Amino acid sequence: MKDSGAASDQRAAVEVTKDRNGIEQVVLRNPRGASAKISLHGGQALSWRTERGEELLFTSTKAIFKPPHAVRGGIPICFPQFGNRGLLEQHGFARNRIWVIDDNPPPLKPSDSHGKVYVDLLLKPSEEDLKIWPHSFEFRLRVSLTADGNLALLSRIRNINCKPFSFSIAYHTYFAISDISEVRIEGLETLDYLDNLCQRERFTEQGDALTFESEIDRVYLSSSDKIAIFDHERKRTFVIHKEGLPDVVVWNPWERKSKSMADFGDEEYKHMLCVDGAAIEKPITLKPGEEWTGRLELSLVHSS
């Protein structure tokens, strides 16, 4: 855990605390007072706040903060699969495991550190994990807060096995929004998508911004690396920049599904939208010793 040069201001800080279950959480604070909180439960970012303390990630008021439940909100890491297939639990086990702080990660590019306050986390499979997914890996996650208050997640997944393996991954990001009727997404126009509400059938998106009138559960394929989520009422836009993550999951449970989720309020669908940088359609295959890198950077732009 470090705060590098430009963030050496005394208010730039990395603080380790514990939640009510005794699980460690890391709080990052940049010189302007923006902050992020990451739980070692799942390596999950639970909070991302502006320098004015405004919360930008949604967390359900009914979230369960105890393993093996993934906390309903923030940014769960879906690995080694997105979805529900085979022996693995829904969206894989990474979000339901306790990660550790990695004080001596392999070096990264200077741009991954300069001016950032960050923490490095590490997940390795347990013997139990290897029984259901027999592939040894090291998953290094760097969560950073930039000088401008952007939230950056950098994943490095290395195959330390003696044979290749494939995985899919998603940063399952719950954005806090004013009201789902006030929101539109730009950057997905004309893309093909797999519709989870129609047995993952493939469709093509229309030619203008995506708005919401009912449950949506789609994987948009081969998108550009920049997606924008406009919140008209709050006059702000979330901008997602991604690298190595060709697909975008868009999910809002709407009214009926909200009522079926114990860890989600019946009306909470109005105030959240999941837009996930992901690699799903074409799973990533790593040869022995090979490492994959995926980057996601979230920023907030105020719009008039």
Q: Is 72 annotated to bind ligand? A: yes
The upper half-sphere exposure of residue 113, i.e. CA atoms within 13 Å in the direction of its Cβ, equals 13
When binding is defined by CB under 6 A, the residue of 70, 123, 245, 279 that contacts ligand TA6 is 70
Q: How far is the CB of 54 from ligand TA6 (least distance, A)?
A: 25
Q: Is 90 annotated to bind ligand? A: yes
Q: How far is the CB of 287 from ligand TA6 (least distance, A)?
A: 29
- For residues 7 to 46, the per-residue mask of contacts with ligand TA6, x marking binding by CB under 6 A and - elsewhere, is ----------------------------------------
| Residue whose tokens read 């208050």 | 149
When binding is defined by CB under 6 A, the residue of 50, 90, 237, 299 that contacts ligand TA6 is 90
**Could you tell me if 220 and 193 are in contact, meaning their C-beta atoms sit under 8 angstroms apart?**
yes
Q: What are the distances in angstroms from CA 191 to CA 140, 223, 241?
A: 31, 7, 17
- Using the rule CB under 6 A, is 242 a contact of ligand TA6? no
Q: Smallest Cα–Cα separation from 39: which of 67, 11, 3?
A: 67
Runs of H (alpha helix) within the chain: 127-132, 254-260
70 secondary structure, DSSP code: P
- For residues 171 to 210, the per-residue mask of contacts with ligand TA6, x marking binding by CB under 6 A and - elsewhere, is -------------------------x--------------
- Using the rule CB under 6 A, is 217 a contact of ligand TA6? yes
Interatomic CA distance for residues 61 and 266, integer angstroms: 11
Tokens describing residue 284: 């990533």
- Using the rule CB under 6 A, is 91 a contact of ligand TA6? yes
Q: How far is the CB of 81 from ligand TA6 (least distance, A)?
A: 11
Length of the chain, please? 304
Give the end-to-end CA distance of the chain in Å, rounded to a whole number: 37
- Using the rule CB under 6 A, is 97 a contact of ligand TA6? no
Would you call the peptide bond into 253 cis, given omega within 30 degrees of 0 as the criterion? no
Q: Give strand pairing partners of 171.
A: 77, 277
- Using the rule CB under 6 A, is 63 a contact of ligand TA6? no
Closer CB to ligand TA6, 118 or 193, in the complex = 193
Q: Give strand pairing partners of 227.
A: 240
Q: How far is the CB of 55 from ligand TA6 (least distance, A)?
A: 20
User: Could you list the residues that contact ligand TA6 (CB under 6 A)?
Assistant: 70, 90-91, 196, 217, 249, 251
